[in-house]
C-alpha cells in the first residue's frame, strides 16, 4: 500500500539485517557456490562439470541496498548523509578491487575523464535524430556528429551519404542494423552464424523474422559452405545477414568478402542486406595493417561498434553507421520534438558522445594504432605462455581474445571475471591489461591447476572440438 | 581510405572554418530560422503557420566538433589539451544557459550528484538480468535492486512476484512492456490512444503487431467509448493496451479503471495485457492523494517510468516493473554471461541506478511528496496567470503540464525550449521550475504577444478543438 511506504520501507537485504554493511561486495557472496539452485530458486546448476544451465525462478534479493525513508531529524543529525557516504565509499573500494581483477570482458578500464566531471551537473539528452535539432537545448549533438564523422570516415562512407547515432550499447546497434535490413527487405530471412552475439537472435524474435543459424569453423568464423547450402534452401527470399567482426567468445572475424561472394554467386545479387557487428573488433581492425577491410565501398548496409569496449567509457555505449538512403524508410516525424526519429531509443545519453569525442581527440588514429598493437602483442604473449605451460589455448590471427581451457574452479573464474562458454573461457586483452596483470593471472592459474589436476584426480577436458586438436593438450592430444 | 585517416581528418565544420570556435552553442545557429529546408535539404517547413513538417534529407553538419588528429608535438606543447579544455569550457557555459532557459521538457534539472563523481572512473555495466549475477564484477546491481524494490512497493507488487530493470529511457520501458504483452498474447492487437508517446507506435512497427489507434477526449485521455467500438470490431483477438499515465503533450491520465471495465464488459476478461506508460507522471501520481491508483492489484502487466524526468539524472534512464510470471516467457539463457537476459539492451548503464538510489534515499517518500505538491501548485499559478492575461491555457487536474497557445515566434519557442504540437505548446512544471522562472517566462511572453497580436495584425489561433472552448480566448470564444 502506498500509504505505508513512508513508514515501512523494507530494511536492507536479509544478509544485512544482522550486519549493517558488508565490507566487500564480492559476487561470490551473492551467487551460491553450491551446484544447486539457491533458496530463491535461482542459481547455476552444474551437471557433469560440462553442461551448465541457468535455472529460472524468483528474483534474488540476497544483497541489495534498500532505499530507507529518511528520519525526521536526519537533516539535523546528518545521519542520512553519513550512511550514504559510507555505502558509497565501500562500494568504491570494491569497484577498485573488481576493476583490478578483470580479464574476461572486452572493456578498456583504463580511462581518465576527470576533465569531464564538470558536466555531470547537466541533464544532457540527445533526443531523436543527431542531425536535426530538437527544441531541447541541453544536448551534445555537436560532439556526437563529430564522433560519427570520424567513424564514417574510417568505414569509408561520405559525409552526406551516411546516417548514424551514438547508441546505448552494441546490442542497440545490432537491433538497429537488423531492423533497417528488415525494412529494406520485409520478406528477408535473417542469417547469422551460431557464434553471433545473442542480441542477433533476440532481434529475430523481436522483429518476427525467420532466422537461419549458420555453422562455424573451429576458429569461430562463419562457415561459408554451410551458408551457401542454407541460402540455396531459401532462394526465393532475400537475405539479411549478420557478419561478425570479432565474435563474442573467440574473437573470430567473419570473412566479409567471402560472404559477399557467396551471396552474389548464388543468385542473391542486390537481394541482400549485410549488417556488420563490430562490437569490439570493429574499432581495432582499421588499425591492423593486414586485416580485411570493413568498408561501405563494399555492398554492406550498416556497421555497429561498442564505445565502452576498446575506447573505454564509464557506461556502455556504441556507434551505429548506416547508409542515408536506408534510413528514410525508417524515419517518422515526431512533431512535438521538432525532430524525426529513426533511432531505437529516442532519448539518448548525451554524456557518452562527449566521452568518445574526448578520447578520440586525445589519442587520435596513431594513439589507437599503438594500443591495438600492444594488445595484439600481449595476447600473443599470453597464448604462448599458456601453451608452454600445457594449457590448451587458441588465439585467432588479428584478435586479442585468447580462448583457453575453462578453469575448473568457479571461484577462480569469478575472481578474474572470466567469460565462459562450455569447456572454454577467454581473456580479452585490452589496453588496460598489462603484462604484469597477465603474469599474475597466469601464475595463479598454473598453481591452481596443479592442484585441480593432481595425479589421480580429474584430468583437463578435451578441447579439440572447441579450439582444434593442434591447440588441445588433453591426455589424448598431448604430444 | 583508412590509410589516410591519420593525415586528413576533416576539419571543424563549415562554420568553424572561418572562426575556430563559436562563443555560444545556440540551437538557432544550427536550425535555420527560415521556413524552407536549408541548403542540406533538412529543415522545418512551415505552411500557413499551422502544419509543420520535418523534411527528410541529408545529414546536417553545420555545427560539429570534429575529431582532429593530434600533432606530433602536441604532448610537448600542450596545444591539444588546451584546445579541448577551451571547447569544454565554452560548452559548459552554453549548458548553463540552456539549462536556465528550459521549460518545455519534463526533466528535473535540479540535482547535485557531486558525491558520485568519484564513480566516473569506473566502467560500470549491469549486464543482463539485475537479479542474477554475471561474471562481470564491476556492476551496481545492489543499487539497482534497491531502486526496483522501492518502485515495486509503490506499485504494490510483492518482492518475489515482480521482475524489472533500470532502462535507458522511457522508450525502452514501452518497448519492453509491449514486447512482454505480445509474447503473452502473440496474436494480440495493440490498442493505444492517438496521444500516446510515439515510441508505442514505433513498437508496433518493430514487433509487427496490428495496431489500432483510439480517439481521445479534449483532455487528452483515452476515449473509452471509441475504445469499446474498436474492441468490438476485433472480438476474436486478444488485446494489448498501452495506458498513458500522463500523456506527452497534455499530461492527461487515462482512466485505468474504466479501461479495465471496458475490456471486461466486452468479452476480453483474461484476454488482455495492459502496459502503463508512466513516463513522467507514473512517479508523481503515487504522491497525490486524490489520484487514481496504478497498482498491480489491478490486472495490469507492466509499468514503466522515466528516471531522468521527475527524479532528475544526468542522462536518460527509466524503471520497468512487470510480473515475474510474464518474464519467464521472454528469458533466454546466455551462457557466456552466466546470466539470463530478458532485457532489451543487455549491457546497461550501471551509473543510472546509483543516481536514482542516491536521490530516492536522500529525498524519500516525503521529499517527493513535497516536490509534487510544489509542482502542482506552481502549475496552477502558471495556468491562472496565463488565463488572466487572456492566453488560452489548460491544466489537467493532477497534472503539472500547462498546455497553452503556441507562441507565434519560433525563436521564443527555442529560447524557452518549448515542446509544441499543432497550435499548442506546453510547459512542464518540474521541481527545478520556480515561480521566478515562470514569472520571467510569462512576462516575456505577454510582452512579445502584444507585438505579435497588435491591432490589425494577426490574431491568436482558436484552440477550442485542442483544449476546449472554455479554455480558448480567440476572438470567437473570448467572453
**Which H helix or E strand runs over B272?**
strand B272-277
Nearest CA-CA distance, residue B456 and chain A, Å: 30
Instruction: State how far the Cα of B352 lies from the Cα of A150, in Å rounded to an integer.
Output: 28
**Confidence at residue B46, expressed as pLDDT on a 0 to 100 scale:** 38
Out of A60, A135, A346, the one facing B131 most closely (by C-beta) is A60
Shared domain for B351 and B432, answered yes or no, is: no
Record: contact A351-B419, CB cut-off 8 A: no
Half-sphere exposure of A396 (CA within 13 A, CB side): 29
Instruction: State how far the Cα of B300 lies from the Cα of B304, in Å rounded to an integer.
Output: 12
Nearest CA-CA distance, residue A235 and chain B, Å: 24
Q: What percent of chain B has pLDDT over 70?
A: 85
- Residue at A7 is within a domain: no
The C-alpha angle B201, B321, A20, rounded to 5 degrees, equals 150
Work out the burial of residue B22: count CB atoms within 10 Å of its CB; fewer than 13 is exposed, 13-18 middle, 19 or more buried.
middle
Out of A53, A104, A293, the one facing B135 most closely (by C-beta) is A104
Record: contact A135-B419, CB cut-off 8 A: yes
Nearest CA-CA distance, residue A381 and chain B, Å: 24
- Residue at A190 is within a domain: yes
Nearest CA in chain A to B149: A66
- Residue at A113 is within a domain: no
Contacts of B331 in chain A (CB under 8 A): 56
Domain residues for the domain of B421 are 373-471
Q: Around Cβ A389, how many Cβ atoms within 10 Å?
A: 15
pLDDT tens digits for range B119-164: 999 999 998 888 887 788 899 999 999 999 999 999 999 999 999 9
Contacts of B1 in chain A (CB under 8 A): 156
- Residue at B44 is within a domain: yes
- Residue at A92 is within a domain: yes
Contacts of B136 in chain A (CB under 8 A): 102, 104-105, 417, 419
Instruction: State how far the Cα of A301 lies from the Cα of B429, in Å rounded to an integer.
Output: 43
**Domain of residue A443, CATH code:** 3.90.1150.10
- Buried b / exposed e along A91-104 (16+ C-beta atoms within 10 A): beebbeebbebbbb
**Domain of residue B159, CATH code:** 3.40.640.10
Shared domain for B349 and B291, answered yes or no, is: yes
Record: contact B135-A10, CB cut-off 8 A: no
Per DSSP, B347 falls in state S
| Residue of A199, A399, A400, A432 with catalytic role | A399
Look-up of cell digits 545492489: B142
Shared domain for B309 and B220, answered yes or no, is: yes
pLDDT tens digits for range B66-116: 888 888 777 777 888 888 999 999 999 999 999 988 898 888 888 888 889
Nearest CA in chain B to A137: B98
Shared domain for B270 and B395, answered yes or no, is: no
CB pairs under 8 A between A and B: 441
How many domains, in total, are found in chain B? 3
- Residue at B46 is within a domain: yes
Shared domain for B230 and B208, answered yes or no, is: yes
Instruction: State how far the Cα of A121 lies from the Cα of B171, in Å rounded to an integer.
Output: 23
The C-alpha angle A207, A313, B308, rounded to 5 degrees, equals 65
Q: What are phi and psi of B200, to 5 degrees?
A: -70, -40
Instruction: State how far the Cα of A397 lies from the Cα of A405, in Å rounded to an integer.
Output: 19
Record: contact A198-B332, CB cut-off 8 A: yes
**Confidence at residue A252, expressed as pLDDT on a 0 to 100 scale:** 95
Q: What are phi and psi of B366, to 5 degrees?
A: -70, -35
Shared domain for B308 and B455, answered yes or no, is: no
Pick among B349, B352, B430 to test the A interface (most A CBs inside 10 A): B349
pLDDT tens digits for range B323-377: 999 987 777 666 665 557 788 888 999 999 999 999 999 998 889 999 999 999 9
Record: contact A132-B42, CB cut-off 8 A: yes
Nearest CA-CA distance, residue A49 and chain B, Å: 14
**Confidence at residue B40, expressed as pLDDT on a 0 to 100 scale:** 34
Contacts of B98 in chain A (CB under 8 A): 137-138
| Residue of B339, B399, B400, B432 with catalytic role | B399
Shared domain for B438 and B290, answered yes or no, is: no
| Domain endpoint, select from A331, A361, A391 | A361
Record: contact B154-A5, CB cut-off 8 A: yes
**Confidence at residue A402, expressed as pLDDT on a 0 to 100 scale:** 97
**Confidence at residue A292, expressed as pLDDT on a 0 to 100 scale:** 84
Per DSSP, B308 falls in state I
Helix (H, G, I), strand (E, B) or coil at A282: coil
Record: contact B5-A358, CB cut-off 8 A: no
Out of B59, B171, B335, the one facing A347 most closely (by C-beta) is B171
Pick among A14, A135, A251 to test the B interface (most B CBs inside 10 A): A135
The C-alpha angle B92, B95, B96, rounded to 5 degrees, equals 90
Q: Are the CB atoms for A418 and A104 separated by under 8 Å? A: yes
| Domain endpoint, select from A314, A336, A361 | A361
Binned average pLDDT, 10 residues per bin, chain A of 479 residues:
30 32 34 31 36 41 80 77 90 92 88 88 90 86 95 94 94 95 95 95 93 97 98 98 96 96 98 95 86 93 94 94 87 63 89 95 91 95 96 94 95 92 94 94 95 85 95 88
For the cut 90, the answer to whether the pLDDT of residue B447 exceeds it is yes
- Is residue B399 annotated as a catalytic residue, yes or no? yes
Mean pLDDT of all residues belonging to chain B: 84
Shared domain for B382 and B354, answered yes or no, is: no
What is the pLDDT confidence band of residue B1, given thresholds at 50, 70 and 90? Answer: very low
Cell matching residue B241: 493496451
CA quadruple A263, A269, A275, A278: dihedral sign: positive
What is the pLDDT confidence band of residue B200, given thresholds at 50, 70 and 90? Answer: very high
Q: What is the ipTM of this complex?
A: 0.86
- Residue at B8 is within a domain: no
- Residue at A160 is within a domain: yes
> What DSSP assignment string belongs to B110-157?
----GGGGGGGGS--B--S-TTS--S--S--HHHHHHHHHHHHHHTT-
Shared domain for B152 and B84, answered yes or no, is: no
Nearest CA-CA distance, residue B201 and chain A, Å: 10
Shared domain for A340 and A393, answered yes or no, is: no
Record: contact B64-A105, CB cut-off 8 A: no
Shared domain for A167 and A268, answered yes or no, is: yes
Record: contact A248-B117, CB cut-off 8 A: no
| Domain endpoint, select from A314, A331, A361 | A361
Sheet holding B419-421, edge to edge: B393-395, B401-405, B424-428, B419-421
Record: contact A84-B358, CB cut-off 8 A: yes
Half-sphere exposure of B25 (CA within 13 A, CB side): 26
Shared domain for B169 and B211, answered yes or no, is: yes
Amino acid at each position: 500500500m502506498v500509504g505505508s511506504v513512508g513508514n515501512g520501507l523494507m530494511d536492507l537485504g536479509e544478509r544485512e539485517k544482522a550486519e549493517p554493511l558488508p565490507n566487500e561486495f564480492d559476487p561470490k557472496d551473492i551467487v551460491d557456490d553450491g551446484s544447486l539452485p539457491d533458496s530463491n530458486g535461482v542459481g547455476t546448476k552444474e551437471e557433469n562439470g560440462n553442461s551448465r544451465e541457468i535455472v529460472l525462478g524468483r528474483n534474488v534479493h540476497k544483497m541489495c541496498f534498500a532505499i530507507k525513508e529518511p528520519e525526521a531529524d536526519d537533516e539535523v543529525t546528518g545521519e542520512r548523509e553519513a550512511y550514504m557516504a559510507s555505502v558509497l565509499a565501500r562500494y568504491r573500494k570494491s569497484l577498485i578491487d573488481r576493476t583490478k581483477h578483470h580479464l574476461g570482458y572486452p572493456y578498456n578500464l583504463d580511462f581518465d575523464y576527470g576533465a569531464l566531471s564538470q558536466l555531470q551537473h547537466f541533464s544532457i539528452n540527445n533526443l531523436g535524430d543527431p542531425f536535426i535539432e530538437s527544441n531541447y537545448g541541453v544536448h551534445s549533438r555537436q560532439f556526437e556528429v563529430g564522433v560519427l564523422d570520424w567513424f564514417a570516415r574510417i568505414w569509408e562512407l561520405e559525409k552526406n551519404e551516411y546516417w548514424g547515432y551514438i547508441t546505448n550499447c552494441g546490442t542497440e546497434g545490432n537491433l538497429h542494423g537488423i531492423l533497417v535490413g528488415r525494412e529494406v527487405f520485409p520478406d528477408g530471412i535473417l542469417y547469422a552464424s551460431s557464434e553471433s552475439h545473442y542480441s542477433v537472435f533476440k532481434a529475430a524474435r523481436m522483429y518476427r523474422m525467420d532466422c537461419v543459424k549458420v555453422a562455424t569453423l573451429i576458429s569461430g568464423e562463419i562457415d561459408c559452405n554451410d551458408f551457401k547450402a542454407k541460402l540455396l534452401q531459401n532462394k526465393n527470399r532475400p537475405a539479411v545477414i549478420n557478419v561478425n567482426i570479432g565474435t563474442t567468445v573467440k574473437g573470430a572475424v567473419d570473412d566479409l568478402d567471402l560472404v559477399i561472394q557467396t551471396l552474389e554467386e548464388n543468385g542473391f545479387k542486390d537481394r541482400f542486406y549485410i549488417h556488420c557487428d563490430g562490437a569490439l573488433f570493429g574499432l581495432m581492425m582499421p588499425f591492423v595493417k593486414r586485416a580485411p577491410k570493413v568498408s561501405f565501398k563494399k555492398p554492406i548496409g550498416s556497421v555497429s561498434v561498442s564505445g565502452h569496449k576498446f575506447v573505454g567509457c564509464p557506461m556502455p555505449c556504441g556507434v551505429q553507421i548506416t547508409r542515408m538512403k536506408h534510413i528514410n524508410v525508417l524515419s517518422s516525424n515526431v512533431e512535438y520534438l521538432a525532430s524525426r526519429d529513426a533511432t531505437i531509443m529516442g532519448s539518448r545519453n548525451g554524456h557518452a558522445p562527449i566521452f568518445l569525442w574526448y578520447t578520440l581527440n586525445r589519442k587520435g588514429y596513431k594513439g589507437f594504432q599503438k594500443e591495438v598493437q600492444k594488445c595484439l602483442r600481449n595476447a600473443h604473449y599470453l597464448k604462448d605462455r599458456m601453451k608452454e605451460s600445457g594449457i590448451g589455448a587458441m588465439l585467432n590471427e588479428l584478435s586479442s581474445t585468447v580462448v583457453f581451457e575453462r578453469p575448473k574452479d568457479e571461484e577462480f573464474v569469478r575472481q578474474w571475471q572470466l567469460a565462459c562458454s562450455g569447456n572454454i573461457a577467454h581473456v580479452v586483452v585490452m589496453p588496460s591489461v598489462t603484462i604484469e596483470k597477465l603474469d599474475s593471472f597466469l601464475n595463479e592459474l598454473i598453481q591452481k591447476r596443479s592442484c585441480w589436476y593432481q595425479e589421480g584426480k580429474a584430468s583437463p577436458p578435451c578441447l579439440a572440438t572447441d579450439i582444434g586438436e593442434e591447440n588441445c593438450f588433453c591426455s589424448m592430444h598431448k604430444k
